[in-house]
Amino acid sequence: MKLLHIDTSILGQNSVSRQLTGIIVARVRDAHPGIEVRYTDLGAEPLEHLSGAHLAAAQGATLESATVLRDLERGREALEDFLAADILVVGAPMYNFTISSQLKAWIDRICVAGKTFRYTESGPQGLAAGKKVIVASSRGGFYGPQSPAAALEHQESYLRGVFGFLGITEVTFVRAEGVNISPDQRQAAISAAAAEVAQLAA
């Protein structure tokens, strides 16, 4: 069994989502001793934005740029790691109402027609069914359905949509929200999320 652990926060040691992914991975390790864990820190070492040069190279163009070549290789590794994983633990901070651009850059490398989805006569079909995703979601404010900012929630809804598009229906969110409201609220939100993790069916 394989677990892919991805962090995407830019806040280093102060990151809430990193704290949560750490707790989640420990919980899954307890439940599945011997599970193989692969760690990727996209906050520390981001993939580049997908560019015209990347797409041209994917279609066979000769590339001069060593940087793009190396990044293409990292993108291929990201896709292989995704395909190999049974469980994904993804740190997903909310930045400007959506996911981090580091996480989006990773999504741009794993959404590949013919590999993780395909077009059929009856519409697109996800090819990554059977994987389980646990998302550690962290937000400075509140975005629940009853909150005044609900319409700005493009983080969890986006991730559920993308993973669903790839055929993954088992997506669980462990959320710490309101973490920038006050130190007390931050601690309470982290503690509540950690308690949720303890109850997770890993």
The first and second tokens of residue 129, run together, are: 């069914």
To the nearest whole angstrom, how small is the minimum distance from the Cβ of residue 175 to ligand FMN? 11
Length of the chain: 202
State yes or no: residue 182 binds ligand FMN (CB under 6 A).
no
Question: Which of 116, 138 has the CB closer to ligand FMN?
Answer: 138
State yes or no: residue 95 binds ligand FMN (CB under 6 A).
yes
State yes or no: residue 179 binds ligand FMN (CB under 6 A).
yes
Out of 3, 16, 78, 159, point to the residue binding ligand FMN (CB under 6 A): 16
Residues 74-93 within binding reach of ligand FMN (CB under 6 A): 93
State yes or no: residue 23 binds ligand FMN (CB under 6 A).
no
Query: SS3 of 59, please?
Result: coil
Q: How many CB atoms lie within 10 A of CB 115?
A: 15
To the nearest whole angstrom, how small is the minimum distance from the Cβ of residue 13 to ligand FMN? 10
Query: What angle, 0 to 180 degrees and rounded to 10, lies between the N-to-C axes of helices 66-84 and 101-110?
Result: 80
Residues 118-147 within binding reach of ligand FMN (CB under 6 A): 138-141
Question: Which of 20, 112 has the CB closer to ligand FMN?
Answer: 20
Please spell the DSSP secondary structure of 64-133, one letter per residue. --HHHHHHHHHHHHHHHHHHH-SEEEEEEE-BTTB--HHHHHHHHHH--BTTTEEEETTEEEES-TT-EE
The contacts of residue 30 (CB under 8 Å, 6+ apart) are 202
To the nearest whole angstrom, how small is the minimum distance from the Cβ of residue 111 to ligand FMN? 23
Question: Which of 172, 185 has the CB closer to ligand FMN?
Answer: 185
Residues near ligand FMN (CB under 6 A): 9, 11, 15-18, 93-97, 138-141, 179-180
